[in-house]
Amino acid sequence: MTYFELFQLPYGFAVDLGALTITYRDLQKAVHPDNFANASSHEQLMAVQKTAEINDALATLKHPLRRAEYMLHLMGVDIRAEQQTLQDPAFLMAQMELREALDDARHADDPDAALATLTSQTQSDIDQYFNDLTPILDAQDQANAENAADFIRKLKFLYKFLDEIERLEDELFSD
């Protein structure tokens, strides 16, 4: 059973988050360990495992990057645990420049505005990659599976960069 089938959603990158949440709650009500607080230890253990599985399925479908990785995995390409790095000098160079820009933002006159600019710039890059990625995943286009894997590797860099922006925000504006 795929996560899409588990949540009774049509296969596709665009996910109806409302429907996802409703089904999630129904599933949780059926298997949550609280329903088995008085049951045999075996049922309790199973409830924990099933609930964990459902929680993980939800987290996977909810987050666009994890959803994309999962859909690629359904196409037979699993990059979720890979150790290899990206071979795209131009992209990597751009990443280094972004990180330098982040360092500059720390000392900018208006760090808040500098960070906001970086965030929206990164976000629009992310949107662009998803635009290119969606048709490949939706059509399960095997000929382009490697391209899709590359898009996702790049998206990982960009999401990591968003995390770094947020960390700096926390550091600068925690009071």
Partner 1 sequence: MALLQIAEPGQSAAPHEHKLAAGIDLGTTNSLVATVRSGEAKTLVDHEAQDMLPSVVQYQQNGVNVGRLAKQSATQDPQNTIISAKRFLGRTLSDIQHTFGQLPYTFKESDGVVSMQTVSGEVNPIQVSSEILKTLGKRAEDSLGGDLQGVVITVPAYFDDAQRQGTKDAAKLAGLHVLRLLNEPTAAAIAYGLDSGNEGTIVVYDLGGGTFDVSVLRLNQGVFEVLATGGDTALGGDDFDHTLLARFCELAEHQEELTPEQVRYLLDQARYVKEQLSSQDVVTVSLETTGFAWKGEFSRADFDILIQPLVQRTIRTCRRVLKDADVKAEEVQEVVMVGGSTRVPLVREKVAAFFQKEPLVSIDPDKVVAIGAAIQADILVGNKPDSEMLLLDVTPLSLGLETMGGLVEKVIPRNTTIPVARAQEFTTFKDGQTAMSIHVLQGERELVDDCRSLARFALTDIPPMAAGAAHIRVTFQVDADGLLSVTAMEKSTKVAASIQVKPSYGLSDTQVADMIQSSMQHAKEDIQARMLREQQVEADRVLESIQSAVDSDGEKLLSQEELNQISETMRQLATARQSGDVEEIKTAIERVDQATSEFAQRRMDDSIKQALTGQSVDEV
What residues make contact with partner 1 under the rule CB under 8 A?
A: 8, 22-23, 25-34, 37-43, 46-53, 55-56, 58-59, 81, 83, 170, 174-175
Q: Which is nearer to partner 1, 55 or 131 (CB)?
A: 55
- Nearest approach, Cβ of residue 33 and partner 1 (Å): 4
Give Cβ neighbours of residue 98 (< 8 Å, ≥ 6 apart).
118, 122, 161
Residue at token pair 């420049």: 97
- Nearest approach, Cβ of residue 67 and partner 1 (Å): 16
- Nearest approach, Cβ of residue 174 and partner 1 (Å): 7
Q: Which is nearer to partner 1, 38 or 85 (CB)?
A: 38
Q: Which is nearer to partner 1, 2 or 8 (CB)?
A: 8
Q: Which is nearer to partner 1, 29 or 86 (CB)?
A: 29
Torsion of CA 161, 162, 163, 169, to 10 degrees: 110
| The two structure tokens encoding residue 127 | 């949107």
- Nearest approach, Cβ of residue 22 and partner 1 (Å): 7
The span from the CA of 102 to the CA of 100, in Å, is 5
- Nearest approach, Cβ of residue 120 and partner 1 (Å): 17
Q: Which is nearer to partner 1, 26 or 112 (CB)?
A: 26
